[in-house]
Chain A
Amino acid sequence: MNQLETAIADTLRAQAQGAAMSTDTPHEQDILESRLDVIDHENTRTRRALWSTVAAVAAAVLVVVGARAILAGTEDGGTVVSPPRVLFTSTEFGVPFTVDSLPSWLTTHTLIPDGQDAEGLYWNRCPQNVDNECIGVAFTRVSGVVASPQSWPPVPVDYKGFLAYLDRLGRTGKLTISERKPTTIDGRPAVEYSATAPTELTNMLGCHIHGSTRCDEFFPGVPGRYVVVDTGTLDPTGAVLVIYTRAGGVGPAEAGWLEQFDQMLTTVKFTGTAPSSK
């Protein structure tokens, strides 16, 4: 190591040690225990819900089989309609929703997302990796954008403004948009982009600016599909809903990557209105 490198290493160690000494580990452990309690509770609830679903499906099958047996003697029988089956219900995300299917390539061992709060919800796709580049499916509320990775703070944006912003990124070559098509999500107007950023676009996938400001980013060379949804009155803050998936930056996309994402989109159901304070 040269003199500068030694100074860097010494400085980093001193900084880390200072931070380490100023943290209260027993207090932090109490916080962790509380968080683990929540996970245990949710796991128990998920298992119960799963068994309830299994029991409901079994009961429905018995009913259908019984009905068919009765009808078989008089006519050809009727159409069997499967009962609606909700796989996942958001609990904290600000635009409440349910989905009936999730991509099988998500590596989560339960239905619990890897992250969820009022502004964002995501599941990872990598088994031992929690990098942003590892996000498999994300739902996020966007209410602001930055003009460049260096510009700060974000400026407010609405649905049309966010579409114009993405289109402008495409026109200026910052984002390579391979496909752009209108669609709907649970009847709401939406536009779907298939896009890849040639270079890293820090903060430029949109920010939410109510409360603490935070932003998402495009990773260089990582293809993704981004669906921008006009939530209308579902979100009183005027935030835009962006649902996206992206292939990992550390490996090839899984089989059925986009097909399963698209399948999930067809099952999204919005179930309520976001709290106006969020």
Chain B
Amino acid sequence: MGDAYAVPFEAALPTTARGAVTALFRVHHKRLVGLASLLVDDHGTAEEIVQDAFESLYKRWNGLRDPDAAVAYLDRAVVYGARSWVRRRVTARAYVLPEAGTAPSAETEGVALRRNDELADAIRALPQRQREVIVLRYFLDLSEEQIAAWLGVTTGSVKRHAFRATEALQKRMEAWG
């Protein structure tokens, strides 16, 4: 696991479900909001997805006493929650990918910062499944096999999504120069 997972949980969890879940919340909340924000376009939705994940964990706590299992559960719940049918498409599809060449100029923003923003926009504009694969691969540092297991698809499907996504991002970056 990479940096995104490098959140230590050294203290023993409280013995009650309530205490354990709130302790996990304090440690992992910001990181999970960050993860959710990569998968949805609206900050409020990202926060709500994280709330849902902790609520779901609380409901299932009897079967999930291991802190490591709980953290993994939360990560997955956030990824799945991002495309949950309950929240689905509240904000998605409203975003329109800017045409090449219409981004802010380097005169007003630093070139590196502008490219960062452009790349972020391009990632947001990817089809949802491709976006998920990119986030799981490059933010959570999951292997193709792990991503396949998380998403319930074959590794071949993961490879295809990753290939198409990086190809689209590459073209977009080339268009922007």
Residue positions of A touching B, CB distance < 8 A: 4-5, 7-23, 25, 28-29, 31-33, 35-36, 39-40, 108-110, 112, 114-115, 117, 120, 122, 127-135, 138, 140, 152-153, 200, 202-203, 207, 212-217, 248-250
Cβ contacts under 8 Å, A28 to chain B: 25, 29, 47, 50-51
B3 part of interface (Cβ distance < 8 Å): yes
Contact of A129 among B69, B80, B84, B89 (CB under 8 A): B80
Given contacts A20-B33, A20-B34, A39-B55, contact A215 B85 (CB under 8 A): yes
Which of B3, B58, B62, B89 has the largest count of A CB atoms less than 10 A from its CB? Answer: B89
Chain B interface residue count, Cβ-Cβ cutoff 8 angstroms: 63
A109-B62, A215-B89 known; A36+B31 contact, CB < 8 A: no
**Cβ contact within 8 Å between B60 and A4:** no
Secondary structure dominating the interface of B: helix
A20 touches B30 (CB 8 A): yes
The residue that B89 contacts in the complex, of A35, A114, A203, A248, with Cβ under 8 A, is: A203
Nearest chain A CB to B108 CB, angstrom units: 19
| Selected A-B contacts with CB under 8 Å, 21 pairs | A4-B169, A4-B173, A7-B115, A11-B120, A12-B38, A12-B139, A15-B38, A16-B34, A18-B37, A20-B30, A28-B50, A29-B29, A32-B55, A109-B60, A115-B84, A135-B85, A153-B93, A207-B89, A214-B88, A214-B89, A215-B88
- CA gap between A207 and B89 in the complex, in Å: 9
B120 near A128 with CB under 8 A, answer no
Given A130-B84, A215-B89, 9 extra CB contacts under 8 A: A12-B139, A19-B34, A32-B22, A32-B55, A33-B22, A122-B86, A214-B85, A215-B88, A249-B153
Q: Give me the 6 closest cross-chain CB pairs, A-B, nearest first.
A: A16-B34, A19-B37, A20-B30, A20-B34, A250-B152, A131-B80
Alpha-carbon gap, A22 to B34, bound state (A):
9
A36 touching B173, Cβ below 8 Å:
no
Task: Please indicate the chain B residues that have their CB under 8 angstroms from the CB of A14 in the complex.
Answer: 116, 120
| A109 nearest in chain B by CB position | B62
- Convert B85-116 into 0s and 1s, putting 1 for each residue whose CB lies closer than 8 angstroms to a CB of A: 11111100100000000000000000000011
Whether A29 pairs with B26 at a CB distance below 8 angstroms is yes
Chain A CB within 10 A, most for which of B33, B55, B86: B86
Q: What A residues does B37 contact at CB under 8 A?
A: 15-16, 18-20
Contact among B36, B73, B116 for A128, CB-based, below 8 A: B73
> Which of B63, B77, B120, B128 is close to A202, meaning CB atoms less than 8 Å apart?
B128
Query: In chain B, what residue has the closest Cβ to A10?
Result: B116
Name the CB-closest residue of A to B174.
A4
Decide yes or no whether B76 CB sits under 8 A from chain A: yes
Pairwise interchain contact B90-A212, C-beta atoms closer than 8 A = yes
Q: Which of B108-148 contact A (CB under 8 A)?
A: 115-116, 119-120, 123, 128-129, 134-135, 138-139
